[in-house]
Amino acid sequence: FFDSMPAPGARPASAALDKLAPYLSGVSSSPGAAGSAEKETKPATKSVAPKLTKWLMGAASKYAGGSVATLAAPPATAAAAVAPLHGPVVRAARNELAREYREWVDTQIAKADDFSIAVIYASAYGNTSAMAQAIARGITKAGVAVEMLNCELSTVEDVATLIAKTDGFCLGAPTLGGHMPTPVSNALGVIVKEASREYPAGVFGSFGWSGEAVDLMESRLKDGGFSFAFDAVRCKFKPTEATLQVCEESGTDLAQAVKKLRRKKQTAETKALASGGAAAGQSDTAAAVGRIVGSLCAVTAKKGDAQSAMLASWVSQASFNPPALTVAVAKERAVESFLLKGATFNLNVLQQGNEKDTIKALLKPFAPGENRFGDMAVDISETNGCAIVTQALSYMECEVEERMECGDHWVVLAKVRDGKLLQDEGLTAIHHRKTGTSY
Ligand SMILES: Cc1cc2nc3c(=O)[nH]c(=O)nc-3n(C[C@H](O)[C@H](O)[C@H](O)COP(=O)(O)O)c2cc1C
């Protein structure tokens, strides 16, 4: 069922869930309507087994004969497991998972109808597709919905329809025989003709040796008057973790540019709202929340060959035994994808009076893939490969235990595996604020 999802997006996921509806409850797209599995309490029993075996044998011979289009749906029963191509086999809590997936998909689609970015691409061997998925992740992280479009499975009319309703776009293509594939070239023609020049744009693609496709897309869009939200991402053959990280950060940059444009357009409306009665109450709350203080820290993390870091002050100890702590990480932060369950990172506690250089280095805007540490003096831990800020007061090597979704942040709970004092004396740098609406 998931073969329609070379790059998962909400709409293909929704179509896949529709197909799963007879076998799992909670995935039906029409509210209130339950799949037939709703009534089933148990997965396939012995009585269904002969029917299923017969169906599977029929399916196998049809696949062998190439006539899959005439394949009937399997006999209705509850699924015992869900085996997506992109993740682990799910045996427990299948229906809950499916229900939550449906909710997520519906939210994404509703969001996309309102505000979205198109990721339009083609990929012969999956490399450009992997880049497209990473870019899509970066866009979603920044709170903007993504519309994925594989040019090879769509018409130019599909491209035109999509471009008319999205708020920005990026285009990806492999180089084949010194060119971009024809469907991408056709899509590019539609974009240049139809898309608003205000739209922030981006290009990316995988190549083997000469890589003309990305250059061609870039120059055509530039000549057409578009401006780019990120530098073109070029990747030789299969993208590494570091390249995927560049793609993800580029996606976030694109989303930020689109959001900025929208904010600009909505300024008048926002101003009118802000001067309304509710604003006074809100600023009181914000001022109250702003009295919470935090220790200034540098979070440093590693994923494959990619390194990342961020300045953190929403940090707190969470347990004595085992020693544990929490860090709140904004959903759109580049380092967020380095802090998934099971990942390791270092928390470097900055020293009062000696924190300015590190803060400056961490707050400097950085291009996707740029060395995050800049002039910061760091050592690399032999245990977990993450950076240790040598000017810090102390550092802890941590492992992510849990993540809790909390509005616009993830609260990351981590066990402290090891820790060292780097300076014998000195106090922790504290962050005092005026308002709870910013760090
Ligand atoms: C038939 C063929 C022609 C290719 N021509 C070029 C080329 O002219 N220049 C180049 O840089 N790479 C070329 N490549 C390499 C591909 O661009 C490279 O394999 C890339 O990773 C494919 O990306 P994809 O997986 O997104 O399709 C070619 C590959 C094949 C199979």
Q: What angle do CA 138, 255, 152 make, to 5 degrees?
A: 70
Tens of pLDDT, residues 268-286: 565 655 665 444 455 788 8
CA of 125 to the centre of ligand 1 (A): 9
Q: What are phi and psi of 329, to 5 degrees?
A: -120, 125
Asked if residue 166 has its Cβ within 6 Å of ligand 1, the reply is no
Asked if residue 236 has its Cβ within 6 Å of ligand 1, the reply is no
Residue ranges in the chain modelled with pLDDT below 50? 1-7, 31-41, 277-280
**Residue with CA closest to ligand 1 atom 15:** 208
- Going along the chain from its start, the domains and CATH numbers come out as 2-86 (no CATH), 115-265 (3.40.50.360), 291-431 (2.30.110.10)
Residue located via tokens 């540490």: 373
Number of the ligand 1 atom closest to the C-alpha atom of 122: 26
- What integer pLDDT is reported at residue 427 of this predicted model? 95
Q: Of 195, 178, 177, give the one whose Cα is nearest residue 120.
A: 195
Asked if residue 125 has its Cβ within 6 Å of ligand 1, the reply is yes
Number of the ligand 1 atom closest to the C-alpha atom of 124: 27
**Residue with CA closest to ligand 1 atom 6:** 176
User: Alpha carbon 122 to chain centroid distance?
Assistant: 20
Q: Which of 175, 212, 217 to mutate to test the pocket of ligand 1 (most atoms within 8 A of CB)?
A: 175
Q: Which of 119, 171, 176, 216 to mutate to test the pocket of ligand 1 (most atoms within 8 A of CB)?
A: 176
Say how far apart CA 278 and CA 261 lie, in whole Å.
26
- What integer pLDDT is reported at residue 67 of this predicted model? 59
CA of 154 to the centre of ligand 1 (A): 21
CA of 211 to the centre of ligand 1 (A): 8
- What integer pLDDT is reported at residue 240 of this predicted model? 94
CA of 320 to the centre of ligand 1 (A): 55
Q: Of 393, 388, 392, 370, give the one whose Cα is nearest residue 378.
A: 388
Q: Of 42, 259, 60, 16, give the one whose Cα is nearest residue 142.
A: 259
Q: What is the dihedral of CA 60, 64, 68, 70, to 10 degrees?
A: -80
Number of the ligand 1 atom closest to the C-alpha atom of 130: 26
User: Alpha carbon 46 to chain centroid distance?
Assistant: 42
3-state secondary structure of 394: strand
Q: Of 69, 70, 93, 68, give the one whose Cα is nearest residue 80.
A: 93
Contact (Cβ atoms closer than 8 angstroms) between residue 79 and residue 20: yes
The alpha carbons of the chain give a radius of gyration, in whole angstroms, of 25
Asked if residue 322 has its Cβ within 6 Å of ligand 1, the reply is no
Tens of pLDDT, residues 163-186: 999 999 999 999 999 999 999 999
- What integer pLDDT is reported at residue 365 of this predicted model? 82
CA of 162 to the centre of ligand 1 (A): 27
Beta bridge partners of 264: none
Q: What are phi and psi of 164, to 5 degrees?
A: -70, -25
- What integer pLDDT is reported at residue 384 of this predicted model? 96
Say how far apart CA 106 and CA 273 lie, in whole Å.
28
Asked if residue 307 has its Cβ within 6 Å of ligand 1, the reply is no
H helix or E strand, kind and range, residue 286: helix 278-289
Strands 116-121 vs 203-207: parallel, antiparallel or unpaired: unpaired
Say how far apart CA 247 and CA 238 lie, in whole Å.
13
**What DSSP line would sit under 339-358, residue for residue?**
-STT-EEEEEEPBTTS-HHH
Say how far apart CA 172 and CA 184 lie, in whole Å.
8
Q: Of 149, 150, 180, give the one whose Cα is nearest residue 162.
A: 149
Distances, alpha carbon 281 to alpha carbons 162, 286, 292, 433, 436, in Å: 41, 9, 18, 18, 13
Asked if residue 133 has its Cβ within 6 Å of ligand 1, the reply is no
Q: Of 153, 247, 139, 240, give the one whose Cα is nearest residue 203.
A: 247
If one counts every other C-beta atom within 10 angstroms of the C-beta of residue 41, the result is: 7
**Residue with CA closest to ligand 1 atom 9:** 210
Amino acid at 394: S
CA of 219 to the centre of ligand 1 (A): 20
- What integer pLDDT is reported at residue 411 of this predicted model? 97
Beta-carbon contacts of residue 93 (< 8 Å; ≥ 6 apart):
none
3-state secondary structure of 336: helix
- What integer pLDDT is reported at residue 38 of this predicted model? 43
Asked if residue 211 has its Cβ within 6 Å of ligand 1, the reply is yes
- What integer pLDDT is reported at residue 4 of this predicted model? 38
CA of 208 to the centre of ligand 1 (A): 5
- What integer pLDDT is reported at residue 343 of this predicted model? 96
Whether complex ipTM tops 0.85: yes
